[in-house]
Amino acid sequence: MRTQVGIIGAGPAGLLLSHLLHLNGIESVVIEERSQDYVRQRVRAGVLENTTTDLLREVGLGERMDREGLVHGGISLRFDGADHRIAFEELVGRSVTVYGQQEVVKDLIAARTRDDGQILFEVSGTAVHDIDTDRPRITFTDSSGQPQEIVCDVIAGCDGFHGVSRSSVPHEAYDHAYPFAWLGILAKAAPTRDELAYTYHERGFALYSMRSPEITRLYLQVAPDEDLAEWPDDRVWAELHTRMALDGESPVLEGPVLDKGITAMRSFVATPMRHGRLFLAGDAAHIVPPTGAKGMNLAIADVRLLSLALTELLRRNDSRLVESYSDTALQRVWRAEAFSWTMTSMLHIMPGADAFQRQVQLAQLRYTAASAAARTTIAENYVGLPW
């Protein structure tokens, strides 16, 4: 096969990059190891920054999001037996939208299918070659077991943290593993709150969120090596009620558990995000703990920038934006890493933390709740910094 841009990975980053390139008259082929059903159904991030929703509308992907997404004008920090609201709209004049990653992926697949975009699912043995030349190649085995090769002008590695792309790029890695994880459930239960609540509790952090008017998404801080089998539904619900209750009343409405899993917490950045004609985007280049709701939004910011750079290169033979892509993208990445670190450190019980450390956390939370300046800092980072 011959195309202009070979894209590895059919998550939000790879699919959106393909869509943006199509709008600019540039051909691409997307390959993905998982099945289409898996990609469409996997439960991941759910909060879209204001900048992300603006972009999706701008490129014709906002109709269902605007119809079904839940617009939130703030979040709550729950500690000291009370809710402390951070009002985004009042502080920075913007909001976020709760719309699951799988829904964004469904919209993107529909758009690429409508526009005759080529997405090859269930491939295996993916490898990249000749990335130091102007004709890099991707080899793989297709779903029928036939060996294939894509010759392209550029390769975009959008294949996530465990993909093959990053290992093909000489890079320096900055990695931090947190001493806890999140146990998350998706429940068929109507939300009882209008906004997310981040709870600091002596037994560990808890998060109340939602995906739709019928579905809640709930998280508990657990040990990093926690055995999911030790958490039957009854135990999960009991712990959620304990950590989130105010004045003895819990906001959690129980219902059938549709999905349950444990998510490791880590911060990771690979630099640079480009080598020759291979460019990294999204989780292939960086990971943030989910506390700051930055993962998918960072991936979308990466491919917005990369699409502009590749358009200049392939349509006008202008390499200035591709030369600066890594440095420019990493400025936003490190700002998001810092914000996610701050939220994570402030809200979680650190294993082995003494009474002094816990009082320092509470002092930071109390200052944040009382200070308009501190609340504004959280608000402007949470809703998304300008491009």
288 to 95, 296, 329, 338: CA distances (angstroms)? 21, 10, 15, 9
Query: Could you tell me which of 265, 256, 8, 244 has the C-alpha nearest to residue 131?
Result: 8
40 within 8 A of 102, measured Cβ to Cβ: yes
From 12, 19, 22, 72, active-site residue: 72
Render the burial of 202-232: b for 16+ CB within 10 Å, e for the rest. eebbbbbbbbbeebbbbbbbbeeebeeeebe
End-to-end distance of the chain based on CA atoms, in angstroms? Answer: 35
- The secondary element (H helix, E strand) that includes residue 193 is none
User: Which entry of 136, 290, 325, 348 is annotated as an active-site residue?
Assistant: 290
Asked about 272 being catalytic, the answer comes back as no
Judge whether 38 counts as a catalytic residue: no
3-state secondary structure of 273: coil
Give the integer Cα–Cα distance in Å for 62 and 108. 10
Considering the candidates 136, 294, 325, 348, report the single residue annotated as catalytic: 294
The residue written with tokens 């709209």 in the block is 89
Q: Does the N-terminal peptide bond of residue 272 adopt cis geometry, omega within 30 degrees of 0?
A: yes
Q: How far is CA 329 from CA 51, 53, 294, 299, 317, in A?
A: 15, 19, 14, 10, 21
Q: Tokens 């699912």 correspond to what residue?
A: 121
Distance CA 329, CA 60 (A): 24
Known active-site residue 198: yes
Catalytic residue, chosen from 198, 200, 208, 219, is 198
What are the residue ranges of helices labelled H in the chain?
12-23, 36-41, 50-58, 63-68, 88-92, 101-114, 233-244, 295-316, 320-347, 355-370, 372-383
Q: Which residues are catalytic?
A: 72, 198, 290, 294, 382
